[in-house]
A and B are shown apart, each in its own frame.
Chain A
């Protein structure tokens, strides 16, 4: 089973709102990711958690705040977003391997900022 589950599927929020995206996997993967994808573009890495510790932050604005409560869960807290932040947010996970990591994506959360 290569299932990464994301909620909500769709989210509309105002620029002053605080909301969260949630991600869950039960495959025993120890790396989890947040990607942002705009239309007709490849996924763009935002954050990587490895063994529940933040290992990569791709200079993401502080209005995006990741959290990894445990090895199965990953959250992305959203606050004071801008309309240009509207995109598909993809959670992903991967098992630890000797070389290279097979990354499995969730269905994504479609975010619209109004």
Chain B
């Protein structure tokens, strides 16, 4: 089955700086990669996703890049703000996996004002 590894496990950045989280996956057939943000005590919320036919996707200060050859994808947050502080989870899946997402271990991001 799929295995997704996420690094780093914690990330502390100064407000205004950029943050980058990297994930690697094992199943070359995986074709959908969402990113979730989870604030303390709240639900995971989808913030951006990318499918395998696209190399990069951007939404305001958030971007995701996918390298299918190397089997890794990354989340980039620019101009970080205190409200970006949360745990971020990457995930991967493929249709044949029967709607099963495999999550990375999570990255706790702290944006210091």
Please give the residue numbers on chain A whose beta carbons come within 8 Å of chain B beta carbons, in ascending order: 31, 33, 40-43, 45, 48, 50, 55-56, 90, 94, 98-108
Contacts and interface: CB of A to CB of B under 8 A. Distances in A.
Interface residues of B, number: 25
Interface of B: 31-32, 34, 36, 42-46, 49, 51-52, 87, 89, 93-95, 98-101, 103-106
A90 B101 CA distance: 14
Contacts of A99: 31-32, 51-52, 94-95
Contacts of B87: 40
Contacts, number: 65
A101 B91 CA distance: 11
Given A100-B93, A101-B93, A102-B49, A94 B44 contact: no
A94 B44 CA distance: 14
Contacts of B101: 45, 101, 103
